[in-house]
Amino acid sequence: MGIIIHIQQKLDQGLILKTEKYRQEKNVHHYHLKGISSDGGTEPSALVDDNGSEEDFSYEDLCQASPRYLQPGGEQLAINELISDGNVVCAEALWDHVTMDDQELGFKAGDVIQVLEASNKDWWWGRSEDKEAWFPASFVRLRVNQEELSENSSSTPSEEQDEEASQSRHRHCENKQQMRTNVIREIMDTERVYIKHLRDICEGYLRQCRKHTGMFTVAQLATIFGNIEDIYKFQRKFLKDLEKQYNKEEPHLSEIGSCFLQNQEGFAIYSEYCNNHPGACLELANLMKQGKYRHFFEACRLLQQMIDIAIDGFLLTPVQKICKYPLQLAELLKYTTQEHGDYSNIKAAYEAMKNVACLINERKRKLESIDKIARWQVSIVGWEGLDILDRSSELIHSGELTKITKQGKSQQRMFFLFDHQLVSCKKDLLRRDMLYYKGRLDMDEMELVDLGDGRDKDCNLSVKNAFKLVSRTTDEVYLFCAKKQEDKARWLQACADERRRVQEDQEMGEQPLALESGYNRCPVAPPHQSLHPIHQRHITMPTSVPQQQVFGLAEPKRKPSLFWHTFNRLTPFRK
């Protein structure tokens, strides 16, 4: 049974109370917005579509159809109950998560993460490969079908088991139909809720903002909302196409692949919105410094009966949506047999939407990386030389290596591989999250040499899991050893990826994205930093560091304490 069905059952109990709460909020706070409004009037709660008819999705209708998406905080509570009951809960990454913090889980779009704890609404604790750490909940989509079926069960030659094998295949077919039903329903339900969110943005925020010319200029609204109205118009048409192809009686027979293919070109409007989104985040951040804007946007939310999410969270939904489509289609394709009438269309739709999402994810990843590199550099004690962003715009790999000096001494160092350069840092003996700058290598001048286990002739030392970088100009040799063979393999692959990405940028004539975006140089570390070093990742940034390059992906500014997570997991009083 799909996890979404589990969550819906757990959340249905509080639906009536939640609906009543929103009604009360509307009644209590209605005066607030009227006090701000220039005309004191209110707008109807439905927008009119192209045919002149009103949208037929009221708040109550949406709650009854899909309460799990409308109740803030309810989803993670239900997920924790499932985990406590012994269920395995998996999520798929919507986009890459770039991190320089070993307490965070880095991953790429499409990676599967097992959710181990979801008590915090912003940061979840999960496992990917062999690592457990925090990751931002807004970066993932829960899988609809959590239970994997055995696809390769072989039939036995025993005649006595033929009938049992036949029954097993029949049950497998029925389960696959149910799983396809789950995915189809998720696509339909999330699409309907998405339409409501878009309507709330256009009607609840944008329409009210346009009435207040003293508070917002036309240019400001264009920056904040972009082409959201065009997206809303397009998505209404897309939903109508989906509804026509949706088989309510037997959802697994629905053939919706053609809807994506017919509207493939229309999804291109998301590119403009996503490119505009960093500027929207910056403009909103500046306005939110003033109390009147905070009160205004909150009053808009309450009057429109929106869920308890800030305006920047609503403006994020189109970016999340376009990246969620390929994950949904991939799961749908998995449970669509080749004999199904929609198989070829779903396969083509998946490839089409994956290409759209990849372009958006790539730019997001680079812009996000720029901001994190700037924050990271400020946290390094004793930084020397040029800023990282003068030449680089992306962290490719990081980890601990042992550096062997010319004299044969071993030095344990943290290395950070960026495009064009490799930075070396030393950890503080007491505060392991504090790093001291120790130097860097120009990767454009280096040649990578893989070494086998044994004695190296250049250093006359016996080495294991080693590789070296040799300078093409000075012939100087830099020898590195990893703890494990797999760590060495990751570094070799990372160095190859670094050269490939640099070459691709050169072929496309691209300069570092930080320069392209007009990103300012990193500020000099505050004078007190040498006495009281700031945390490697979650720090208070000086106001001189621009934030417009952050791709506004609602990543929480702080994650829960690792100490409290460990304490909660070990406490004997935990149920």
Give tens-digit pLDDT for 6-17: 544 444 444 334
* Between 54 and 436, residue with greater pLDDT: 436
Q: Tell me which H or E stretch contains 201.
A: none
* Residue 93 Cα distances to 8, 106, 111, 139, 313, angstroms: 22, 10, 5, 6, 18
Comparing 13-27, 192-206, 367-381, 418-432, which segment has the lowest mean pLDDT? Answer: 13-27
Which H or E element spans position 287?
helix 269-287
pLDDT tens per residue across span 225-236: 999 999 999 999
| CA gap 556, 124 in Å, rounded | 11
512 pLDDT band (50/70/90 cuts)? low
- Exposed, middle or buried by CB within 10 Å (0-12, 13-18, 19+), for 418? buried
Output b/e per residue, 1-20; b: 16+ Cβ within 10 A.
ebbbbbbbebbeeebeebbe
Residue 111 has pLDDT above 80, yes or no: yes
Interatomic CA distance for residues 9 and 7, integer angstroms: 5
Residues whose CB is less than 8 angstroms from the CB of residue 402 and which lie 6 or more positions away in sequence, other chains included: 410, 411, 412, 413, 480, 481, 482, 483
User: Is 522 in contact with 377 (CB distance < 8 Å)?
Assistant: yes
Rounded Cα–Cα distance for residues 258 and 348 (Å): 9
Instruction: Return the H-helix or E-strand segment holding 258.
Output: helix 257-262
Cα angle: 464, vertex 468, 469; to 5 degrees: 170
Q: What pLDDT score was predicted for residue 296?
A: 95
Q: Which residues contact 372 (CB under 8 A, 6 or more apart)?
A: 98, 99, 100, 395
* pLDDT tops 70 at residue 527: no
277-318 confidence digits (pLDDT tens) = 888 988 999 999 999 999 999 999 999 999 888 898 899 899
Q: How far apart are CA 321 and CA 316, in angstroms?
A: 9
What ranges in 246-342 are assigned the alpha helix state H? 257-262, 269-287, 291-303, 311-334
In whole angstroms, how far apart are CA 552 and each of 180, 276, 293, 371? 33, 10, 19, 11
Q: Which domains does the chain carry?
A: 75-142 (2.30.30.40), 170-371 (1.20.900.10), 384-507 (2.30.29.30)
Q: What are φ and ψ of residue 243, in 5° steps?
A: -60, -35
Range from 41-45, 173-177, 429-433 carrying the lowest mean pLDDT: 41-45
**Residue linked to tokens 């990578």:** 448
What is the spatial distance between Cα 447 and Cα 465, in angstroms, rounded to a whole number? Answer: 18
Position 136 pLDDT exceeds 70: yes
- Sequence length of the chain is 575
pLDDT given at position 9: 47
Query: How far is residue 10's CA from residue 82's CA, in Å, rounded to a whole number?
Result: 10
Are the C-beta atoms of residues 282 and 547 closer than 8 Å to each other?
A: yes
Distance in angstroms (rounded) separating the CA atoms of residues 24 and 560: 32
Q: Is the pLDDT of residue 150 over 60?
A: no
- For the chain, the 3-state helix, strand and coil shares in percent, each to the nearest 5, are 50, 15, 35
Instruction: Tell me: pLDDT of 263 over 60.
Output: yes
Q: Which of 141-150, 368-377, 448-457, 476-485 has the lowest mean pLDDT?
A: 141-150
State how far the Cα of 514 lies from the Cα of 548, in Å rounded to an integer: 11
Cα 519 off chain centre by: 23
**Neighbour count for residue 575 (Cβ, 10 Å):** 3
Helix axes 343-379, 311-334, angle to 10 degrees: 140
- Predicted confidence at residue 104, as pLDDT, reads 85
* Cα radius of gyration rounded to whole Å, the chain: 27
CA 129 to CA 141: how far, in whole Å? 18
- Give the residue-averaged pLDDT of 355-376: 78
Residue 83: other Cβ atoms inside 10 A = 17
Handedness of CA 493, 326, 353, 68 (dihedral sign): negative
String of b and e for 303-327 (b: at least 16 CB within 10 Å)? Answer: bbbbbeebbbbbbbbbbbbbbbbbb
What backbone torsions phi and psi does residue 229 show, to the nearest 5 degrees?
Answer: -70, -35
Query: What is the distance between the alpha carbons of residues 197 and 318, in angstroms, rounded to a whole number?
Result: 9
Residue pair 241/322 in contact by the 8 Å Cβ criterion? no
The whole-number average pLDDT for the span 329-357 is: 92
DSSP 149: P
Band of pLDDT at residue 153, cut at 50, 70 and 90: very low
| Max mean pLDDT range (128-142, 145-159, 217-231) | 217-231
Where do runs of H (alpha helix) occur along 37-87? Answer: 59-65, 74-84
Look up tokens 């697994």; give the residue: 252
Geometric angle at alpha carbon 198, from 245 and 553, rounded to 5°? 110
